[in-house]
Amino acid sequence: MKTLNDFDFKNKKAIIRVDFNVPLDENFNVTDATRIEAAKPTIDAILAQGGSVILMSHLGRPKGVEEKYSLKHILKTASEILGVEVKFASNCIGEEAQTAAKDLKPGEVLLLENLRFHNEEEAGDVNFAKELASLGDIYVNDAFGTAHRAHASTTIIAQFFPTEKCFGTLLAKEIESLNKVLKNSEKPVTAVLGGSKVSSKITVIENILDKVDHMIIGGGMTFTFIKAQGGKIGESICEDDKQELALEILRLAKEKGVQIHIPVDVVAADDFSNTANTQIVDVTAIPDGWQGLDAGPKSLENFKKVILDSKTILWNGPLGVFEMETFSKGTIALGDFIAESTQNGAFSLVGGGDSVAAVKQFGLEDKMSYVSTGGGAMLEMLEGKILPGIAAILD
């Protein structure tokens, strides 16, 4: 796996695919700069060697050129974080980009305008990729969040750098962390899969059953498994057409010697609201008109024991509707258990939009071994897929 360590960047122009798809408020201020901060180690390392850096990214889902999606809005924040004044080209290809790239001196940083202002980016157009490639000497992919897309800047461009291409620090760390769970894990390995739908996690479950010793199933998925086994789930969310599948997963797990842990009690509510009436009930006997919205205390005790006995932990998906304070306790407790296990020497990997949002919201981010930056990309890797953006560098 080629990384920054395999190249000397002195007097070289590195063209880096970063993921600066950051949230902006109505005045175009960056409200969460995590993704820019995540790219900093790669950029710093290249500049420190006497190289220069050309950054390319997308922002949002523009339909053609849309002012509100211009990357110029993030210039100030990027300059502050990187500690250098970031230059800007108002197009990512064409004469202006060519001139700006050519004039770039060692130690300087240039940000190109939104790649998705051109349809050719998402179409994976070869000529568009070739134009981007002409701007730099070495191609660095540091955007895990888009590594599962075969776009011009994430995959196609790599063919114009047969030997001069590598992974940035962030992307290398993502691959390493996932491999630590999927390939080189210390046992016992526990996967915690939450969220509302079994259907969105089927391939993940199937792929990791061979790699884990324990699987904790929580969130809305719980009720499809409970109903499939004959339990009463009241008004709880359920994918009726996935009940057979839930039973098949339980059968497969038993066959492979994987212990599945499902909540035994839940916090049930008489309405989907923060101010609803609540009661703790057996997960198999939720009254009519009530719905399970969080894991109950007995379930959490069971999960705690499993987590504290684990040496490798993967967490993808919350245990309840953590966005509402009333139903956030299960997810917070789970985060605390994983943090404690990590402190005791376990390796913990958190990934997927909701789990990442939860660890940030509850101040647990620094207590995990690694928090992944790519939701969809991470899920696809957990499903056992080779991501095009990664394959293009390994090729």
Model confidence over 41-53: pLDDT tens digits? 999 999 999 999 9
| 190 shares a domain with 162 | no
Query: Structure pTM?
Result: 0.88
| 358 shares a domain with 249 | yes
Q: Which of 36-45, 160-169, 365-374 has the lowest mean pLDDT?
A: 365-374
| 316 shares a domain with 273 | yes
Q: Which of 56-70, 107-121, 242-256, 370-384 has the lowest mean pLDDT?
A: 370-384
Q: Is 251 annotated for ligand binding? A: no
Cβ–Cβ < 8 Å for 156, 124: yes
Query: How far apart are the C-alpha atoms of 175 and 144, rounded to whole Å?
Result: 9
Please compute the mean of the pLDDT values over residues 76-102 and round it to a whole number.
98
- Mean pLDDT of the residues in the chain: 95
Query: How is residue 231 written in tokens?
Result: 């339990």
| 340 shares a domain with 357 | yes
Query: What's the confidence (pLDDT) of residue 353?
Result: 65
56 in a domain, yes or no?
yes
Q: Is 67 annotated for ligand binding? A: no
Query: How far apart are the C-alpha atoms of 207 and 203, rounded to whole Å?
Result: 6
388 in a domain, yes or no?
no
Q: Is 25 annotated for ligand binding? A: no
Q: Is 363 annotated for ligand binding? A: no
205 in a domain, yes or no?
yes
User: Which amino acid, one-letter code, is at 232?
Assistant: K
Q: Which of 167, 198, 231 is the last residue of a domain?
A: 167
| 244 shares a domain with 375 | yes
Q: Which of 142, 167, 192 is the last residue of a domain?
A: 167
Query: What's the confidence (pLDDT) of residue 40?
Result: 98
Using CA atoms, how far residue 280 sits from 229, 253, 297, 332, 336, in Å, is 20, 28, 8, 17, 21
Strand partners, 261: 216
Please compute the mean of the pLDDT values over residues 170-190 and round it to a whole number.
92
Cβ–Cβ < 8 Å for 86, 110: yes
Cβ–Cβ < 8 Å for 138, 8: no
Query: How far apart are the C-alpha atoms of 150 and 268, rounded to whole Å?
Result: 43
Please compute the mean of the pLDDT values over residues 37-42 and round it to a whole number.
96
Query: How is residue 53 written in tokens?
Result: 């850096």
129 in a domain, yes or no?
yes
Q: Provide the residue range defining the domain that includes 201.
A: 175-382
360 in a domain, yes or no?
yes
Q: How many domains does one find in the chain? A: 2
Q: Is 80 exceeded by the pLDDT of residue 146? A: yes
| 82 shares a domain with 100 | yes
Catalogue the active-site residues. 35, 197, 353, 376
Q: Is 303 annotated for ligand binding? A: no
pLDDT tier at 209 (50, 70, 90 boundaries)?
very high
389 in a domain, yes or no?
no
Query: How far apart are the C-alpha atoms of 33 and 37, rounded to whole Å?
Result: 6
Q: Which of 151, 167, 183 is the last residue of a domain?
A: 167
| 252 shares a domain with 143 | no
Q: Is 61 annotated for ligand binding? A: yes
394 in a domain, yes or no?
no
For 21, residues 6+ apart whose C-beta sits below 8 A from its C-beta are 35, 57, 58, 59, 60, 145
Q: Is 17 annotated for ligand binding? A: no
| 211 shares a domain with 130 | no
Percentage of the chain lying above the pLDDT 90 cut: 88
**3-class secondary structure for the chain?**
CCEHHHCCCCCCEEEEECCCCCCECCCCCECCCHHHHHHHHHHHHHHHCCCEEEEECCCCCCCCCCHHHCHHHHHHHHHHHHCCCCEEECCCCCHHHHHHHHCCCCCCEEEECCHHHCHHHHHCCHHHHHHHHCCCCEEEECCHHHCCCCCCCCCHHHHHCCCCEEECHHHHHHHHHHHHHHCCCCCCEEEEECCCCCCCCHHHHHHHCCCCCEEEECCCHHHHHHHHCCCEECCCCCCHHHHHHHHHHHHHHHHHCCEEECCCEEEEECCCCCCCCEEEEECCEECCCCEEEEECHHHHHHHHHHHHCCCEEEEECCCCCCCCHHHCHHHHHHHHHHHHHHHCCCEEEECCHHHHHHHHHCCCHHHCCEECCCHHHHHHHHCCCCCHHHHHHHC
Indicate which CATH number applies to the domain containing 141: 3.40.50.1260
| 179 shares a domain with 163 | no
Start-to-end C-alpha separation, the chain: 10
Query: How far apart are the C-alpha atoms of 358 and 33, rounded to whole Å?
Result: 17
pLDDT tier at 22 (50, 70, 90 boundaries)?
very high
Q: Is 131 annotated for ligand binding? A: no
Query: What's the confidence (pLDDT) of residue 45?
Result: 98
Q: Is 80 exceeded by the pLDDT of residue 12? A: yes
Q: Is 323 annotated for ligand binding? A: yes
| 326 shares a domain with 348 | yes
76 in a domain, yes or no?
yes
Q: Is 136 annotated for ligand binding? A: no
Q: Is 354 annotated for ligand binding? A: yes
pLDDT tier at 380 (50, 70, 90 boundaries)?
confident
| 179 shares a domain with 327 | yes
| 307 shares a domain with 186 | yes
Among the ranges 166-170, 171-175, 180-184, 379-383, which has the highest mean pLDDT value? 166-170
